[in-house]
Amino acid sequence: MDTNRIVVVGGVAAGMSAASAAKRITPDTEVVALERGEFVSYASCGIPYYLSEVVKDHLNLVAVTAEEFREKRGIDLRTMHEVKSIDAEKKIVEVLDREADNTYELEWSKLVIATGARAFRPPIEGMDAPNVFMVHSLQDGLRVMGFIRDRNPQRAVILGAGYVGLELAETFRARGMVVSIVQRSDRIMRGLEPEVGEKVVEELDRQGVILQRNTAVKSFERNNGGEVKRVITDKGEIEVDIVVAAVGVKPNTELAQKAGIEIGKTGAIATNDRMQTCIPDIYSAGDCAEAWHRILERPEYAPLGTTANKQGRIAGTNAAGSDERFPGVIGSMVAKVFDLAVARTGLGLKEAIDSGFDAASNTITARSRAHYYPGAKPITISLILDSKTGRLLGAQLTGADGTAKRNDVLATAITSGMTIGEIEYLDLCYAPPYSPVYDPILVAARQARKKLHK
């Protein structure tokens, strides 16, 4: 194969990071990025804020426009071009130009698969109703906004109490809707520790959100126009004008699978730390690929924008001939739930125990600032530790003032392999407007040290 062409399949976070990195490393190499949709390089995490009109224009969610990629970065970006198949042996992709409705073949020397993920579709009859939505892509967000503007719904039901579900609850309440969240399990936001989770539940209640935990959706009742008017659960019926399913995502691996690329135990594409698949000239990154978990020391599925951008850069850099390594993730994330920030990093207690650690947890609540300084708010911190070695394994926090940045401190401590004793004596900055003399992190570490085996 004489072609010196890097082809990237997918044009959102991982895909355009890969294409940009490849072109930066080898400016003379032809880089082609193929995106099946209209939009590229957008922040799907910002969609709830577009729907609440905190962000006024959906185009503000686009980090780099298609024109900028083409004109300033020299990338041959083709939107509305869908890859239908990959021939790994011949090094050819079959591409459908969706606007022209014609198919063509494109040769490549290196390929990056960044096909992302799609929202998981619950197996409920009626999911095709015109007032039932899933919110994952920018196009999804535009459909929801169109419905809201046309129909002015007053009652919303959200299926799932994960990060997206709770962010959407705030969005719909800001628009004046009556909001119900139906959650199958007792836990919210992917296994928050009970003490932290209950703070979030209290905030939802304070904001007028109806949370139904341990509740299963049985069916939808539709009107003559086909719209869902009632959500039928095992605990009763909920009148509704709009339904949003936010129950997780599933990696788009079909293309890779048909091309003979190994799929990992998580269901995502298996890669090494160079983001190579089992076929050396094919790389993968983002929400379709696995990520190495630094604590568990095994591949995990971590569909987050931060991970996608980093993996994409590594994949593109290596496709261009370099030798960069992706060190892995520990699962750091944060969400805004009305007046609370809810953050976590590392392992939860159950996850740590199930993974073989002799784990323990401790939870404290402390003030975010000096007690005499105006605006001090409570911060609740749960620390999960190895009770034999004192190593910090995880942290979960909720509060209104400085919570996210404190989670970052604890993420850094976990990445560095620090123990509770070392964290207790971190030299953190102090000034009354920002922290008490003993920052809540230090208080949490001091109290957690009591959980160590003597």
Extract the runs of DSSP E, i.e. beta strands, from 294-346: 298-300, 333-337, 340-346
Structure confidence by residue, pLDDT tens digits, 180-216? 999 999 989 887 999 999 999 999 999 999 999 999 9
Q: Are residues 161 and 222 in the same domain?
A: yes
Q: Are residues 262 and 233 in the same domain?
A: no
Domain boundary residue among 206, 226, 245? 245
Structure confidence by residue, pLDDT tens digits, 328-345? 999 999 999 999 999 999
pLDDT of residue 104: 98
Full-model pTM = 0.95
Q: Are residues 81 and 172 in the same domain?
A: no
CATH number assigned to the domain comprising residue 46: 3.50.50.60
Is 45 a catalytic site residue? yes
Q: Sign of the C-alpha dihedral, residues 270, 276, 281, 287?
A: positive
Both tokens assigned to 195: 């003490």
272, with CB counted inside 10 A (0-12, 13-18, 19+), is middle
pLDDT of residue 58: 96
Domain boundary residue among 224, 245, 266? 245
SS3 325: coil
DSSP one-letter code for 263: B
**Cβ-contact 219, 233 below 8 angstroms:** no
Q: Are residues 306 and 375 in the same domain?
A: no
pLDDT of residue 454: 61
Structural domain harbouring 424? 339-451
Q: Are residues 235 and 315 in the same domain?
A: no
Whether 142 is covered by a domain: the verdict is yes
pLDDT of residue 190: 80
> pLDDT below 50 — which residues of the chain?
none
30-35: strand order across its sheet: 76-79, 30-35, 5-9, 110-113, 282-284
Q: Are residues 101 and 17 in the same domain?
A: yes
SS3 172: helix
Domain boundary residue among 319, 352, 376? 319
Q: Following DSSP, what letter does each residue of 199-247 receive, concatenated?
A: HHHHHHHHTT-EEE-S--EEEEEE-TTS-EEEEEETTEEEE-SEEEE-S
Q: Are residues 258 and 312 in the same domain?
A: yes
Could you give the number of structural domains in the chain?
A: 3
Residue 353 main-chain phi, psi, to 5 deg:
-65, -45
